[in-house]
Every structure is written in structure tokens, then in C-alpha cells.
């Protein structure tokens, strides 16, 4: 009895699955038929579209292509026109730039005519040429007069410069004479004599105007004894050699030393 119950349950399960299988097969068949019907409707619709709508669509595409081509051509022409317009704008700008100084010159000329009209009443553009010619003639005459005056001034300037040179030379000669007189007024005394080496020390130096080329005279009791050749000069003291040429007598300490005068 226990063995029969499972068998019965298994049989019931098989029967139930068969029933469901039959129902499912019917539904699948019904779905397939419905799908086939839908596919047929789709194919029919596509056929109608192909036969009716595609020619119109192709025609629309062709028209659109033509319009786009025309648009591209129009854009190209517009770009060309823009280039030409920009070139013309640049040319106009260049002409305006060239015209600006001309306008300024014209304005200057007009102002000049106005100024001339103020100074010369009745002057117009028609009569301005003779007026300008006369002014140019007057200006040329003034230039010639000025050139003549400049030439005369140059001659006078050269004469003045020559006189200034002469004056400078005279002043220099006078200054040299004054310097010579001033130096000749300086007087020194021999303070030491080195007979072995033939030089002496004199108590005048740079401060009194002694220089390397100074010619010093030795005197005693107003009588010239000889000359000294400068060897070394210091402030307030000069070392000099005794010039043996023309020496009359011996040089001794206490003898007077003065600068040689030009005529002495």
C-alpha cells in the first residue's frame, strides 16, 4: 500500500505536465501564427513604402542635394565678394591715407591765400601766381642783400680776428717783458762755493722765478764777473755751475746773482 501512493503521485505529475505541455504547444502555435501575420503586414507596409514613398524620398534627397550645391556655390561667391570688398576697403583706406596729406597741403594753400589776401587785398587763386612770383623776386633780392652783408661781415670778422691775434701777441710780449722785469728785480747772493767741483749755492730758487733755462749773472761791486748755469732748483735755493767761459776773477760767497737782461 505504501509503494502505490508514490506511483500514483508520479502518475498525476506526468498527467499534469502533459496537460500543460499541450496547452503550451497550442499557445506557441498561436504566437507563431500571430508573428507570421505581423511579419506579413510589415513586409506589405515596406513594399508600399518602397513603391510609393522611396521615389518621393529620392526626389527630396536630389532636391536637397541641388539646394546644398547651390548653397555652397553661393557661399563661395559670397567669400569671393567679401575678399573683393576687403580689398576695395583696403584700397579706399590707402587712398584716404594718400589723400590726407594732399588735403593738408590744400588747406595750407587756402590758408596761405587767405593770409596773402589780408596783406594784399584783392588777391585770388587766379592772381596769386603773379603775386607769388613777385614775392619770390623780392625774397631773392633780400637773399642777395643778405649774402652781401654776410660777405662784408666775414671780411670784418677776419679783420677783427687778425687784430685780436695781433693784440694777443702784443699782450704776450708785454707779459714776457713784465715777467723779465719782475725776474730781473729779483736778486740773490752766493752763499757757498765749491771750487773743486766748480758749483755754487744761491739763495734764490723757484719762488723767485728761477728756471732751468734761466741765465744768472754774478756781479761784485756792480761789475760783472761771470755767468752761472742752473743745475738744480729748489724753493729758496739754486745749485749752479760756474760758467768758465767769460769768467773774470774768482766767484766768492757774498757775490750778487741776478737774472740776465735781454740787452746785457
Residues whose CB falls within 8 Å of the CB of residue 213, separated by 6 or more in sequence, listed in order: 230
The whole-angstrom separation of Cα 215 and Cα 246 is 14
Q: Which of 78, 101, 124 is the last residue of a domain?
A: 101
Cell 623776386 sits on residue: 137
pLDDT in tens, the chain (264 residues): 545 676 677 777 777 677 766 667 767 777 778 888 888 888 787 776 666 666 767 677 678 788 888 878 778 888 887 888 888 778 888 877 887 887 787 777 767 667 666 666 666 656 666 766 777 777 777 777 777 777 777 776 777 787 677 767 756 655 554 455 455 557 899 999 998 898 999 999 988 888 888 889 999 998 999 999 999 999 989 999 999 888 888 899 999 998 875 445
- Asked if 120 and 131 count as a contact pair (C-beta separation under 8 A), the reply is yes
> Which pTM does this prediction carry?
0.33
Q: Where are the beta strands (DSSP E) in the chain?
A: 187-194, 199-202, 215-220, 223-234, 237-243, 256-259
The whole-number pLDDT of residue 234 equals 92
Is position 74 within any domain? yes
Q: Three-state SS string across 127-185, please?
A: CHHHHHHHHHHHHHHHHHHHHHHHHHHHHHHHHHHHHHHHHHHHHHHHHHHHHHHHHHC
Q: Which of 101, 130, 156 is the last residue of a domain?
A: 101
Q: Which of 71, 101, 131 is the last residue of a domain?
A: 101
Is position 12 within any domain? yes
Are 97 and 190 in a shared domain? no
The whole-number pLDDT of residue 141 equals 76
The whole-number pLDDT of residue 262 equals 42
Residue 218 domain boundaries:
186-259
Is position 9 within any domain? yes
Work out how many domains the chain is built from and give that number. 2
Query: What is the domain-level CATH number for residue 229?
Result: 2.40.10.340
Amino acid at each position: 500500500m505504501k509503494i502505490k501512493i508514490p506511483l500514483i503521485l508520479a502518475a498525476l505529475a506526468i498527467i499534469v505536465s502533459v496537460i500543460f505541455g499541450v496547452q503550451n504547444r497550442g499557445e506557441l502555435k498561436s504566437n507563431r501564427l500571430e508573428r507570421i501575420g505581423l511579419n506579413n503586414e510589415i513586409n506589405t507596409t515596406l513594399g508600399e513604402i518602397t513603391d510609393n514613398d522611396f521615389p518621393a524620398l529620392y526626389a527630396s534627397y536630389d532636391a536637397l542635394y541641388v539646394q546644398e550645391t547651390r548653397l555652397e556655390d553661393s557661399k563661395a561667391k559670397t567669400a569671393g565678394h567679401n575678399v573683393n570688398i576687403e580689398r576695395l576697403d583696403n584700397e579706399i583706406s590707402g587712398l584716404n591715407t594718400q589723400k590726407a596729406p594732399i588735403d593738408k597741403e590744400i588747406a595750407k594753400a587756402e590758408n596761405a591765400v587767405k593770409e596773402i589776401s589780408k596783406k594784399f587785398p584783392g588777391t585770388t587763386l587766379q592772381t596769386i601766381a603773379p603775386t607769388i612770383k613777385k614775392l619770390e623776386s623780392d625774397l631773392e633780392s633780400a637773399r642777395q642783400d643778405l649774402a652781401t652783408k654776410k660777405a662784408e661781415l666775414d671780411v670784418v670778422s677776419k679783420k677783427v680776428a687778425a687784430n685780436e691775434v695781433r693784440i694777443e701777441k702784443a699782450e704776450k710780449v708785454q707779459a714776457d717783458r713784465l715777467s723779465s722785469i719782475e725776474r730781473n728785480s729779483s736778486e740773490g747772493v752766493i752763499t757757498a762755493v765749491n771750487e773743486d767741483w766748480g758749483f755754487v749755492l744761491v739763495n734764490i730758487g723757484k719762488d723767485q722765478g728761477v728756471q732751468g733755462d734761466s741765465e744768472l749773472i754774478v756781479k761784485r761791486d756792480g761789475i760783472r764777473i761771470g755767468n752761472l748755469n742752473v743745475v738744480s732748483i729748489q724753493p729758496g735755493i739754486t745749485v749752479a755751475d760756474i760758467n768758465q767761459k767769460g769768467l773774470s776773477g774768482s766767484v766768492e760767497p757774498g757775490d750778487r746773482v741776478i737774472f740776465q737782461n735781454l740787452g746785457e
